[in-house]
Amino acid sequence: MRTQPLSILIVEDDADTLVSLCNLTAMRYPHISIHCSDQGKNALETYLRHSPDIVVTDISMPVMDGISMAAEMKALNPDVAIIAFTSYTESSYLLRAIEVGIDNYLLKPLLCEKLYAVIDKQIRLKNELARRKQVERALLKSQNELQMANVLLEQRVKERTADLQASIIELESFSYSVSHDLRAPLRHINSFSTILAEEFADELPEAARLYLERIGKASTRMGALIDHLLQLSRVGRAELKLGPVDLSEMAQGIVSSLQETYPERCVQVAVDDDMTVLGDQELMTRLLENLLGNAWKYTSKKPLAHIEFGKTALAGQETFFVKDDGAGFDMAYKDNLFVAFQRLHSGEFEGDGIGLATAQRIVHRHGGHIWAGGGVDQGATFFFTLPVHF
């Protein structure tokens, strides 16, 4: 997967601790190169020679502390992962660590399990980054090969290559934004909130503590939104594994799960029989979960609700539909339904506006089309087609 093995640099000014950490890390990761250094200056020289992917460092050290060392390493390579550890009483270092961009911050006494968990996470991130770069190189190589095709197919190859390049650039830009630009502010919010809560707990009035709790909840919600965006991007990347999919049986299972989760709801659900298509089992499950879950959610205000999943013929083409008699929507805003974060019922119903965008991407990946009709307080019907079915 990688052109060269991962490597880790461990920096610790206490000789016994350094030896112990290096030995334990080498035993834990036998296939990873381990470099050791006893202070910041020497560690910088080691870094310039070996360019390790991950740096594990003490913060409080003579000559050059871990923060200053980390700042220089980040200047050389912003993608280097730095894991810093220090004692609880030195929490003032945390402010500088956040500004420098240290990836993880652990408190002493250092527990191997916690350190390994953080290292494992960084290894997964590094391998994923290497995998994406490998895929990009493979795609670029394929482009060069396609450009050598015969003249009759040259224009078609160029058009498809341009579309593929645009998708790759969009995906890489999105993944980078999620992993860096979006998560970094959340780390700052969580870190500063934690400092306030821990360092000034005795001085904060009750109202201030409540505000900090609200900040934490808002940060958690933002993290969930980021995760949903990542799921949306993975739908576009996942390899399709086509096979026969029984939509009727799948829908019955989803409805049963909803009824078990919300036993207080009174919902009559009708599902047509023998609806089998050629599709990806996992993506079809997500599609129906989103559409049926959407209908379930927007009928929650009704004492007795009705939901129907079936098929019909529109313009000579077999078309599937999910229909409900819930809140509905204003058709003037139908173009916003499948746009991420564009919610037509903000505040009334839970959600983040990702479900229908995901449903649309799944249908499009199968070569189909999805659209909706409805009216305010008149329910909604979502239609979708799949080009190949049984």
Whether pLDDT at 371 is above 90:
yes
Model confidence over 226-242: pLDDT tens digits? 776 666 666 666 678 88
| 1 in a structural domain | no
Last residue of one domain, picked from the residues 237, 260, 280:
237
Indicate left, alpha or beta for 271 from its phi (over 0: left) and psi (-120 to 50: alpha). beta
What average pLDDT does the segment 48-75 reach?
90
Rounded CA-CA distance 102/80 in Å is 9
Pair 92, 31 in one domain: yes
Where is pLDDT greater, at 180 or 97? 97
Pair 201, 321 in one domain: no
Pair 374, 254 in one domain: yes
| 217 in a structural domain | yes
- What domain count does the chain have? 3
What percentage of the chain carries pLDDT values higher than 90? 35
Sequence-ordered list of residues with C-beta below 8 angstroms from that of 377, at least 6 positions apart, any chain: 327, 328
CATH number of the domain bearing residue 322: 3.30.565.10
Lowest mean pLDDT among 21-25, 175-179, 193-197, 252-256: 175-179
Residue 212: pLDDT band (50, 70, 90) is: confident
What average pLDDT does the segment 348-375 reach?
83
The predicted structure's pLDDT at residue 1 = 43
Whether pLDDT at 347 is above 60:
no
| 121 in a structural domain | no
What average pLDDT does the segment 78-99 reach?
78
| Nearest CA-CA partner of 283 in 241, 228, 339, 318 | 241
| 102 in a structural domain | yes
| 91 in a structural domain | yes
Last residue of one domain, picked from the residues 95, 115, 135:
115
What average pLDDT does the segment 278-306 reach?
91
Model confidence over 102-132: pLDDT tens digits? 888 888 888 888 889 999 999 998 888 888 8
Pair 272, 341 in one domain: yes
The predicted structure's pLDDT at residue 232 = 66
| 263 in a structural domain | yes
Q: Which two tokens stand for residue 306?
A: 């009705």
Rounded CA-CA distance 105/109 in Å is 13
Pair 231, 251 in one domain: no
Rounded CA-CA distance 378/76 in Å is 60
Pair 218, 294 in one domain: no
Pair 248, 381 in one domain: yes
| Nearest CA-CA partner of 247 in 310, 296, 298 | 310
The helix/strand/coil state of 137 is helix
CATH number of the domain bearing residue 97: 3.40.50.2300
What average pLDDT does the segment 307-312 reach?
94
Mean predicted lDDT score pLDDT of the chain? 83
Last residue of one domain, picked from the residues 210, 237, 264:
237
| 170 in a structural domain | yes
What average pLDDT does the segment 311-331 reach?
89
Whether pLDDT at 259 is above 70:
yes
Which among 23-32, 101-110, 122-131, 169-178 has the top mean pLDDT? Answer: 23-32
Pair 151, 101 in one domain: no
Pair 251, 354 in one domain: yes
Whether pLDDT at 263 is above 50:
yes
Q: Counting every residue, how long is the chain?
A: 390
What average pLDDT does the segment 367-376 reach?
90
Pair 72, 207 in one domain: no
Pair 290, 219 in one domain: no
Pair 157, 186 in one domain: yes
Rounded CA-CA distance 331/328 in Å is 9
| 78 in a structural domain | yes
Counting beta carbons within 10 angstroms of the beta carbon of residue 332, is it exposed (0 to 12), middle (13 to 18) or buried (19 or more)? Answer: exposed
Which domain, by its residues, includes 186? 147-237
Run of H or E residues at 31: none
**CA dihedral of residues 348, 349, 354, 360 (deg, nearest 10):** -100
Q: Which two tokens stand for residue 151?
A: 């003249």
Where is pLDDT greater, at 281 or 63? 281
What average pLDDT does the segment 181-207 reach?
80
| Nearest CA-CA partner of 320 in 270, 370, 380 | 370
